Structure 1
C-alpha cells in the first residue's frame, strides 16, 4: 500500500489535497465505510481552507464538558439530544410547500455599462454521484467572453453545488482578467446568504465565507438573483458536463450546447428595446 494511503489520519486536513483544496477521494474511499464516504465527500470545501479544530456537538463552546469541567450527561440526555438533532436535520431538509404564483416571463438582462456579468448554475446527478458546474461570462453588449463547464466527483446536494459553482465562477472570472463583475445565479437561498439576509446553512458556511473573501480582489463586484429562465445558458452548460471527461473552457467561442440559449437572450433584449 502506498505510504500516502497507509499513514495515520489525525485531522480532517489529512483527507484534503493541499493544492486543489478538494477531498482525496481515493483515501476517503479506502478509510471509510460507503455511507460515511458519501457523507464526507458531500461536504463542500472552500478554496480558502480552514484550520483544524475539535468540536463537540450540543455544547456552548464546542468542548468536551465531561473532560474539561467534569460534567457528564446521562444516557437518556444524550439520547434525547440525538433525537432532537435528527428532528432538526429532517425539518431543514424538507422541501418547503409550494404556492401557486402567477407565471412571469423572466429574461436575462445586460450588466451595467463597463461591467461583465458572470452567470453560474449547478446541477446534481445523484445516481452518478456527480456535481456539475456551468459558468458563462458576457460583456455589457451581451457578447460571449468565456465559458466553463466542470465536473466534480462528489455527491454534493443542490445548495452545496450552487455554492461551489459560484466560488468556481469567481475564480474563473479572475483568471479571465475581468475587474468589474456582476455575479448572478438562480439559487435564492445562496443569494440571500451572500447578502446576509438569512442564516447561512452550516453545510455551505465555509464556502460562502470563501466567496465573500475571493471577490475582494475585483475592482467592483455585486451579486444578483435570477430565475431559471434568466439563467438558461449556464443551466444548459451544467447539464452538458455529463458529456465531458473533467472540465472544458471556451474563450470568445460559443459552445454548441448553448448557442440557441445565448441567441434567445440577446434577441429578447433587443426586441424589448
Structure 2
C-alpha cells in the first residue's frame, strides 16, 4: 500500500529495488516445492502492502498512523477507510477473504459471539450451538477455549504462531487462494510430499535447512563455486581424488568416511534428570496435556505435592480437543492454577514440560499468539496469588502426563485427595527415590 503510494502508479522506483532483491534470494519456488517461499513478485508486493495495513490497525501511537488516519479514516480504523482521490493503495484497503457461518436460526444471523457464551459459567452454550449450527461447526467452536475472566477483544492473525501478521504468511495465503482450485499433476504431488517430509523431520532447524540446501544444490561445493567462476579446480581438497559435488563429501570422499567411522564410538550415557520437590513453604503443581486419538477429546493431568514429594491432590479431566498442542498445554497450566485455588493453596510453583508455555508465563510470549488470551486470563485469575513458574523435562513430569492419558478411561472430571490412581502410584515413588 505505502510502497505503491511512494513509488507511484507506474511501478518504478522502489518496486524495482524490491524486484532485484527478490531475484538475488534465488528461491523463486514455493517452500513446498523446495524453495524459500517466494515465487511471484506481485503477490509478494501485495503481502508487503498488507503489512502496512496491519501496522495501521495495531500501532495507533505511531506517526505513521497519525498522518494517514487524519486523511483517510479520521473516525474509524483502517478497515473503515473509504475510497478517495489518494493513491491506488487506498482504493480497497484491508480487503481480506471472509467465510460466513451458516445458521439454522434467523435470530443468530446478526448475533455476536457473546450470544453463544453462558455469562455465568463462562463456557460455550452447548445447547444453543447444537440447535443453531451444523455438528462439524459445533465441534470446531467447542474446541476454542474461552477466558474465565473478561478480556478485551483483539485482532489476531491465525496463520502465524506469534499471532501477528507477517509478509511470509500473507504471501502464502495469497498463493494458496489462487492455486486452491488448480489441478496438480502426480509429479508435483510427489515433489510436494518429498519437501513436506524434509521440513517435518524431527531434527534441529539448521539440519533441515542443510538438507534443503543439499537437495537444491545450494551448498558451496567446489562444483557450484566453479560453475559461478569463483575457483578453477573441482578436485576435492580432502581426498584429492574426485570432483567435489554435493554427494561427494556426504558419500564418496574416502577421507571423510574414515573420519565418520571414528566418530561412531559409543557415547557416554546421558545425565539422568529427576523431579525436584519444592521448598518448604511452597507446593509443587505439575501439569500436562495429552491428545486422545480417535476420540475428539484431550486429557489434562494435574498433581500437587509438598516438599517431601507427598501427594496433596491429583486431577484428571477430559476436554474437547483443541486445535494444537500449545493450546492444550496452556489450558492445562490454567487448570493447574484453578485447581490450586480450589484447594486454598496460596504459595505454589507451577511446573510443566512445555517451553512455549513457560515463556508465556514468564511474559516472553506475545499476547497475540494462539495462547496469548489464555495467559492474559491466567494472570487475571492470579491476582494477589503468589506463584512461580518452572520448566522441566518430560521424564520429570511423568505423573502429570500419566494422569492426562488416564482421562481417556475416566469421566469428564476425577479428583483424588492425597493420592493418585493406583495404576500410576509407582511413578510418584520413582520421583521420590530417584
Question: Structure 1 length as normaliser, TM-score?
Answer: 0.75
Q: Does 1:231 align with 2:397?
A: yes
Q: Distance in 1 between matches of 2:293 and 2:368?
A: 21
Q: Distance in 2 between matches of 1:95 and 1:176?
A: 42
Q: Distance in 2 between matches of 1:148 and 1:175?
A: 12
Work out the number of aligned pairs and report it.
Answer: 236
> How big is the shift at 1:196?
2.2
Matched position secondary structure for 1:114 = coil
Q: Distance in 2 between matches of 1:179 and 1:44?
A: 26
In structure 1, the partner of 2:339 is 172
Instruction: Give the 3 Å change call, closer, same or farther, for CA 56–170 of structure 1 in structure 2.
Output: closer
In structure 1, the partner of 2:408 is 242
Q: Which runs of 5+ in 2 are unaligned?
A: 1-103, 159-169, 178-195, 208-266
Question: Structure 2 length as normaliser, TM-score?
Answer: 0.49
Q: Distance in 2 between matches of 1:103 and 1:83?
A: 47
Matched position secondary structure for 1:122 = strand
Q: Which runs of 5+ in 1 are unaligned?
A: 59-78, 269-273
> How big is the shift at 1:110?
0.8
In structure 1, the partner of 2:192 is none
> How big is the shift at 1:18?
2.2
Whether the 8 Å contact between 1:124 and 1:156 is mirrored in structure 2 is no
Whether the 8 Å contact between 1:146 and 1:252 is mirrored in structure 2 is yes
- Aligned pairs for 1:158-197 (under 5 A) are 158-197=325-364
Query: In the TM superposition, what whole-angstrom CA distance separates every residue of 1:221-269 from its partner, at most 9, and x where no partner exists?
Result: 100011110101000000000111211111112321320110000111x
Query: In the TM superposition, what whole-angstrom CA distance separates every residue of 1:113-157 from its partner, at most 9, and x where no partner exists?
Result: 211000000111242111211010001111110111111134442
In structure 1, the partner of 2:164 is none
Residue among 274, 277, 282 paired with 1:115: 282
Matched position secondary structure for 1:223 = strand
Matched position secondary structure for 2:123 = coil
Matched position secondary structure for 1:140 = coil
In structure 2, the partner of 1:13 is 114
Whether the 8 Å contact between 2:122 and 2:147 is mirrored in structure 1 is yes
Matched position secondary structure for 2:363 = coil
Matched position secondary structure for 1:147 = strand
Q: Which has the higher strand share?
A: 1
Query: In the TM superposition, what whole-angstrom CA distance separates every residue of 1:184-212 from its partner, at most 9, and x where no partner exists?
Result: 01111111122122435632111011112
Q: Distance in 1 between matches of 2:156 and 2:380?
A: 27
> How big is the shift at 1:83?
2.1
Whether the 8 Å contact between 1:139 and 1:145 is mirrored in structure 2 is yes
Structure having the higher Rg: 2
- Aligned pairs for 1:68-217 (under 5 A) are 82-83=173-174, 98-99=203-204, 103-200=270-367, 202-217=369-384
In structure 1, the partner of 2:9 is none
Instruction: Give the 3 Å change call, closer, same or farther, for CA 27–155 of structure 1 in structure 2.
Output: farther
> How big is the shift at 1:8?
2.5
Q: Does 1:252 align with 2:418?
A: yes
> How big is the shift at 1:11?
1.1
Cα root mean square deviation, aligned: 3.1
Matched position secondary structure for 1:127 = coil
Whether the 8 Å contact between 1:148 and 1:248 is mirrored in structure 2 is yes
> How big is the shift at 1:40?
2.3
Select between 231-240 and 21-30 the one with higher mean Cα deviation: 21-30
